[in-house]
Chain A
Amino acid sequence: MAEPNHARRFTILWVVASLIATPLVIVLLGPILPPGNGSAQASGHVTDNTVLLAMATPVLLLVVLYLIYAVIVFRQPKGGALEGPAVRGDQRLQTWWIVVTSLLVLSLAAYGTVRLEQDGAGSGGGPSPVAVPGGKKLQVQVIAQQWEFTYRFPEYGGVEVPHLELPVDQMVELHVTSLDVIHSFWAYQLGVKADANPNVDNVVFVKPTHEQTFEVRCAELCGIWHGAMFDHGHVVSQAAFNAWIAQQQTEYAAATKSLPPYSKTYLPEPTRRAE
C-alpha cells in the first residue's frame, strides 16, 4: 500500500482543528479571562489576553496534534525495524518556520506597543509617560511604606487616607511612589500594576467603568509583612465619592496639618537611626 501524503493530511487536520478551536476559544474563554472588566484598562487586558490566546491556539494545536498524529500513525509495529529512516534538514520547512514564527512575534510586539501607547494599559509609565489620555483626570498619589499603602488627594487639600475610593467613569492619574523600599501597587480588578520606588514618581492611568470593590496588593516582596499589604478599594458614584472625600478631610484633619506640601516624591526624614 502506498504511503499517504502525511504532510498534506496533517496540514488539513491542523487547519480544520484550528478553524474550529480558535473561534471557540475566543467566544467561550475570552469573556472569562483575567482581570475582568473593572476598568477601561482591565477590559483592554482581557482583549489582549484573548488576542494572545487566539494566536497561541493554532500553535498549541500544531504541537499537540502532531504529537498525537505521530504516536498513532508512526507507531512502530511489533517486530518492525528498530530504527526509522534518517531525517535530514528541510531548508524550505526551516525557512517557513523562521518566517512564520518571526512574523508572529513581531506582530505581537507591534500590537503590544500600539496598545501601550493608547493609555499606558494600566502599567506605570514613569514620571513622564509617553501615553497620556486626554480630558480631566483625578490625581491620586499612592504612597507605599512598610507595610501599608496610603493615598493622597492633592485636589482635596492634600488629604491622605488609609483606604482608596475612586469615582466611577472618571479617568484617574495615579502617582505611585514609596517612602522606603521597593513595593508594587497592584489593583487587580482595575488592571493596574505599577512599581512603587522611593524617590520615583511612577504615573499610571485608570478609568473605572462600574461601581465595584477591588483588591489592592503589594506585588513586590518587600519584607516580613509583605503579605499584609492587602486591602480592598471601592469604586463609587461621583456623589458618594464627594461625600466620602469630604468626610475623610474632616476625619484626618489633624494628620493633614502635619503633612509636608504635596510633592510627586518625598525624600523622607528621618534617617537619623538608619545607616
Chain B
Amino acid sequence: MAKKVMGIGVAVIAAATLIALYVASWATSFPKTVAASSASTTAGVSTHLTLQTVAAVGPKYSPEHPDWVSYLVQSHGKWIHSTDFKVPASSDVQITVLQYDGDSGLRNPFLSEVQGTVGKTETVDGKTINAIDPEEASHTFAVPELGILVALPGVAEEAKNQCEFAPCTMAEAHRTITFTIHTGKKGRYHWQCFVPCAAGFLTGGGGPMQTLGYMDGFLDVV
C-alpha cells in the first residue's frame, strides 16, 4: 500500500514539474531583441529600422510553423525572425517595411488612415499618402499606446515573381513603405497587426496573430 501511495506521489510530482517547466518555458520565451541601426550624419544621428513582411515565414526561420505569416527584421544586413525592436528614446526613427504579402483588407476601415507618424503620412513606393484603400491592406504596423498606426498595402494578386517564403529578396514582388516615428519617453510598448491575416484560422485572428514573434511584438524605447 505504502509503495503504491509513494508511486502515485512521485508520478504526480513528476507530472506537475513537467507542466510547470512547460508553462515557464512558454511564458519566458520572447523573441530576440534587435536594435535599430544608427548612423552618424552631419545633421546628427539617424536611426533606421528595416522590416519585412512575408506570407509564409518558411522552414529556415520557423520549422514549427513554416506557413505562418510573419514579420522579420534586418540586423547588420541579415534577416532575423524577431518582433522585438529596440529604438532610442526621444528620437526620429525611420522605418522601412518591405511588404511581400498580398492584401487581406482591413476589418475596420478606420484603421486605414495613417496616425502618429511624423507628418501623419507614409510613403508607398515613393508616393506620400495619408491613407490607403482599406481593401488593399495587407498588414498594419500599429503601436496603440503611442497612437501610431500605419496600414501597409499588399502586393497585387497578379504580380509576377511573388515570394513564396522568407527570406524574400528585392528581386521578388514587393511594396516599399517608409515612415518616420518620433519616439517619446522610455518604455516597452506592444505593437501589432490589425489586419485579420492569419490564414486558416477562425476569423483570421488565431495562430500568428496570437503568438509573440510573428504579427506582434514589442517596441523597446531605451
Contact = CB atoms under 8 A, between A and B. Distances in A.
Contacts of B200: 273-275
Interface string B189-220: 01010101111111111000111100010000
Given A147-B192, A223-B210, A224-B211, A160 B205 contact: no
A9 interface: no
Interface residues of B, number: 36
Contacts of B201: 274-275
A163 B91 CA distance: 25
A162 B192 CA distance: 15
Given A150-B110, A258-B110, A271-B204, A224 B131 contact: no
B211 A271 contact: no
A228 B194 CA distance: 13
A254 B110 CA distance: 9
A255 interface: yes
A17 to B, nearest CB: 46
Interface string A231-275: 000000000000000000000101111111000000011111111
Contact of B209 (A146, A148, A150, A254): A146
A181 B205 contact: yes
A224 B200 CA distance: 18
Contacts of A269: 105, 107
A274 B202 contact: yes
Contact of B205 (A143, A146, A254, A258): A146
Contacts of B111: 255
B107 to A, nearest CB: 4
A46 B130 CA distance: 46
B112 A255 contact: yes
Which range contains the number of A residues in contact with the other chain?
20 to 34
B109 interface: yes
Contacts, number: 98
Contact of B110 (A228, A259, A272, A274): A259
Contacts of A147: 144, 192
Interface string B142-165: 001101000000000000000000
A176 to B, nearest CB: 15
A160 B110 contact: yes
Given A224-B212, A275-B202, A150 B108 contact: yes
Of A150, A180, A255, A275, most B-chain CB atoms within 10 Å = A255
A258 B131 contact: yes
Interface string A207-243: 0000000000000000111001000000000000000
A180 B190 contact: no
Contacts of B110: 150, 160, 252, 255-256, 258-259
Contacts of A148: 144, 194
10 contacts: A145-B194, A162-B144, A223-B209, A252-B110, A258-B109, A258-B133, A259-B109, A259-B110, A270-B135, A274-B199
Interface of A: 143, 145-148, 150, 160, 162, 179-181, 223-225, 228, 252, 254-260, 268-275
